[in-house]
């Protein structure tokens, strides 16, 4: 059974500080996704990481993937209040070869609060 | 272009009632997924369609849950005899299943928040 673990689950940080969210997964997968969810809203795609060593950056967020360690990180640089949200990582499990039942398995999410 | 839409956005049902939740995927998207998100948790997979074929229903929690996509576009998730534990947000996602696009990215709708009283 594929398991995805995020830590921390709750993160309170001051504006201007840096921090990293970690995502570990239990079985082989070479596609990892990061989503953002604001309260009462749906999931907004942030990053798609396709291969070992992949690194993507958008603004103050940078995501990386180490498939050998089964680890992805989401690094926040100089946090601002607008980044307050819940961040999910998700991993693809291809259930059927060729049929593409590539369901996502999500972590529990990291609730980030950036304090002015 | 238009994204994934879901209706209703909010549904309150009395325990024992049947409910039907609708999903309109992005036009042309072959793949459609349903997920259930309990309060404070990550979404959990329910079922998957490729066109009109339901290829994976391993995540449906009980036989009270039923999903269909008869014409390969709009999908309906039906829950019979609702129970309090069914209270959650139900998210629909679609994906193009383009063999040239290996991201397998899924695009999520706004969700339907179901409350069973």
**Is A2 touching B (CB cutoff 8 A)?**
no
Flag whether pLDDT at B36 surpasses 80: yes
Contact between A45 and B42 using a beta-carbon 8 Å cutoff: no
Tokens 């100089």 sit at which residue? A78
Task: Report pLDDT digits (tens) over B59-110.
Answer: 999 999 999 999 999 999 999 999 999 999 999 999 987 766 677 789 999 9
Starting at the earlier edge strand, list the strands of the sheet with B19-24: B5-7, B19-24, B75-79, B65-68
Contact call for A48 and B105, based on CB within 8 A? yes
Q: What is the pLDDT of residue A95?
A: 54
Pick among A33, A38, A42, A91 to test the B interface (most B CBs inside 10 A): A42
Q: What is the mean pLDDT of residues B45-68?
A: 94
> What confidence score (pLDDT) does residue A28 get?
78
For residue B7, which residues of chain A lie inside 8 Å, CB to CB? none
Residue partners of B5: CB distance under 8 A and separation at least 6: B23, B24, B109, B110
pLDDT at A97: 47
> Domain ranges in chain A?
4-115
Please state, for a pLDDT cut of 70, what percent of chain B lies above it: 96
Pairing of strands B10-13, B112-116: parallel
Kindly state the percentage of chain A with pLDDT values over 90. 73
pLDDT score of B42 = 94
- Going from the first residue of chain A to its last (116 residues), give the mean pLDDT of each consecutive group of 10, the final group possibly shorter: 93 95 88 93 92 91 94 96 96 62 89 94
**Taking all residues of chain B, what is their mean pLDDT, rounded to a whole number?**
93
Is B33's CB within 8 Å of A104's CB?
yes
- Condensed to tens digits (0 to 9), the pLDDT of residues A62-93 reads 999 998 999 999 999 999 999 999 999 999 87
Q: Say what the pLDDT of residue A101 is.
A: 65
- On the CB side of B100, CA atoms within 13 Å amount to 0
Contact indicator for B46, B35 with CB cutoff of 8 Å: yes
How far apart CA A15 and CA A78 sit, in angstroms, is 7
Fold of the CATH domain A4-115: Immunoglobulin-like (2.60.40)
Structural domains in chain B, sorted by start: 5-116 (2.60.40.10)
């Amino acid at each position: 059974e594929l398991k995805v673990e995020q830590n921390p689950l709750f993160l309170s940080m001051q504006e201007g500080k840096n921090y990293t969210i970690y995502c570990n997964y239990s079985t082989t997968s070479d596609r990892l996704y990061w989503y953002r969810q604001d309260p009462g809203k749906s999931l907004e795609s942030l990053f798609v990481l396709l291969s070992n060593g992949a690194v993507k950056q958008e603004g103050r967020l940078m995501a990386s993937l180490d498939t050998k360690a089964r680890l992805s990180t989401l690094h926040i640089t100089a946090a601002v209040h607008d980044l307050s949200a819940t961040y999910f990582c998700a991993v693809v499990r291809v259930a059927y070869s060729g049929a593409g039942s590539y369901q996502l398995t999500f972590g529990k999410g990291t609730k980030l609060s950036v304090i002015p | 272009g238009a994204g994934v839409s879901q209706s209703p956005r909010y549904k309150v049902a009395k325990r024992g009632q049947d409910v039907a939740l609708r999903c309109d995927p992005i036009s042309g998207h072959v793949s459609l997924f349903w997920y259930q998100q309990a309060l404070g948790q990550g979404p959990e997979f329910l079922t998957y369609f490729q066109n009109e074929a339901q290829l994976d229903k391993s995540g449906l929690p009980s036989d009270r849950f039923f999903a269909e996509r008869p014409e390969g576009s709009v999908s309906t998730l039906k829950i019979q005899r609702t129970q309090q534990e069914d209270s959650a947000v139900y998210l629909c996602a679609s994906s193009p299943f383009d063999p040239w696009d290996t991201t397998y990215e899924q695009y999520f709708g706004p969700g339907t928040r179901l409350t069973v009283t």
